[in-house]
Amino acid sequence: MNIFFCFDLSEKKSGWSTASAQYLNKIDNKLIFCNKKDLSMPDIQYEILKSPLKYISNPILIFIDYFKIRKIIKENVKNHNASVHFLVEPYVLFLPLIKNFFSNVIYYAHGTYSNILYNNFKTKFIFLFCLKNITHFIYASIYTKKKLNKNFLPNKNCKTYIINCATTFKLKERKPSNFFFILSVGAVKERKGYSNLINVANLVVNKFKNNIKFYIAGEIADNNYFNDLTYKIKKFSLENHVIFLKKVSDAKLNYYYNKCSLFILLSKDVNDHFEGFGLVYLEALSRGKPIIVSKNSGASQLRDFNKDIFIADPSNVLSISDYINKIYKNKIKINYKKNIKTLIDYANLNFKNFKIFTKELI
C-alpha cells in the first residue's frame, strides 16, 4: 500500500500539483490525502489536508487533522510494510504521528519549503525529527540538492535521488507569430526576477531600438513588488512593451506559449526562497521554443542536453538583451526540433532515475 500526501490535484498549473499528478500516475496501489481531489482520477482520495502553508504557520493544525488521517490509515494499512510519500514538503510534519505505520518514508523536495521548514522556529524541531526518519529523499533537481545541503542532510542510511517527476508534456512544434514577442510565466513576486526582466526590456527597446513586447503571465502575489515594477515600467517608458497578463485561463496561456518567439524567466534566490526547477521552461520547450534560463534555477541543468540553451546570470541584463537582439535580427537560428528533443532527453533521464527509485523502494 502507498499512502500519498498531496496538495490541490484539481489544479495542474502549479509545480506542486503537476509534479504530484505525474508522480501518482507512475505508482499503483495508492490511497491519497489531498487538499482538493482530481475527479478524473479513479484512485481513493480524501479531501482532508489544509493548505501546506497553514501547517507551517500553525503546527497545532497537524494534531487536529491527524485523527481523521489516522483512522483511515488504520483501516487500510494492515501491516507495516507500507510506504508514505510526502509530495509537498510541509505535509511531512504529519510524520512523527504516523511513522509507525510505514517501513518506507519518501520525501519529495521541490525547493523553497524545505528551507522554510528548517529555518522556521515553529517547525524546525519537528522537521529535524522527520529528517532522521526519511528513508528515501528525492531532490527535484541538482540545484535543489545543492541549495538544501547547505542547511541539512538526510540521515546516513537514507537513499537519495535526483528526479523531476513533472516531465510529461504534449510535444508539438509551434512556430511563433509574425510579431516578435517574449513570454515569461510565474507569479508576480521578487523570486521570479521581473525587475531584471524590465531592465532587459529597457535595453532591448530603448538601446537596441527593437519593437518587441514582453508578456508576463501570472497572478500578482506581492502588491508592493507589482507597484514597484509598474513604476519602473513608466520610468523607462515601456508601457506599450511590458504587459502584465495577470492570471490567465489555460486556453489563453497555451496561446501565448504557442505564439511567443522566446521564453524567459530570470528567477533569483531570495532568502529561503529559490527556484527548484521551473516547469514553465519545459512547457516552452515542449513547443520547441528557445528559452533563456536563469542560472539560479534547477532548469540550468538543461544545458547538459542542449549546449545552445542560454543560461543567464539574471543580473547580467546587458548579456541577456544582446542575446535577444541577436535572435530578433536572425543572427541566431532557432532549432525547434532540437529544443523538443532537449525535453525528451531530459525526461528519459528522469524516467530512468524513477525506475531505479521504485525498484529500490520495493
The pLDDT value recorded for residue 155 is: 85
For 277, the 3-state DSSP assignment is coil
CA distances from 219 to 11, 110, 245, 248 (A): 14, 21, 8, 8
| Rounded Cα–Cα distance for residues 350 and 346 (Å) | 7
Three-class SS state of 214: strand
Beta bridge partner(s), residue 297? 275
Q: Which domains does the chain have, with CATH numbers?
A: 2-166 (3.40.50.2000), 181-340 (3.40.50.2000)
pLDDT given at position 342:
98
C-alpha pair distances (Å), 268 with each of 193, 233, 281:
6, 20, 15
Neighbours of 167 (CB within 10 A): 22
**Residue 124 CA: distances (Å) to CA of 57, 108, 175, 196, 237:** 12, 18, 49, 33, 46
- Based on the number of CB atoms within 10 Å of its own CB, is 359 exposed (0-12), middle (13-18) or buried (19 or more)? exposed
pLDDT at 149: 82
Q: What was the pLDDT predicted at 12?
A: 61
pLDDT digits (tens, 9 = 90+) for 321-360: 999 999 999 999 999 999 999 999 999 999 999 999 999 9
Q: What percent of the chain has pLDDT over 90?
A: 88
Q: How many CB atoms lie within 10 A of CB 53?
A: 11
What pTM was estimated for this model as a whole? Answer: 0.94
Averaged pLDDT of the chain: 94
Residues 255-307: tens digit of each pLDDT: 999 999 999 999 999 998 999 999 999 999 999 999 999 999 999 999 999 99
Q: Which residues contact 15 (CB under 8 A, 6 or more apart)?
A: 110, 166, 276, 277, 278, 279
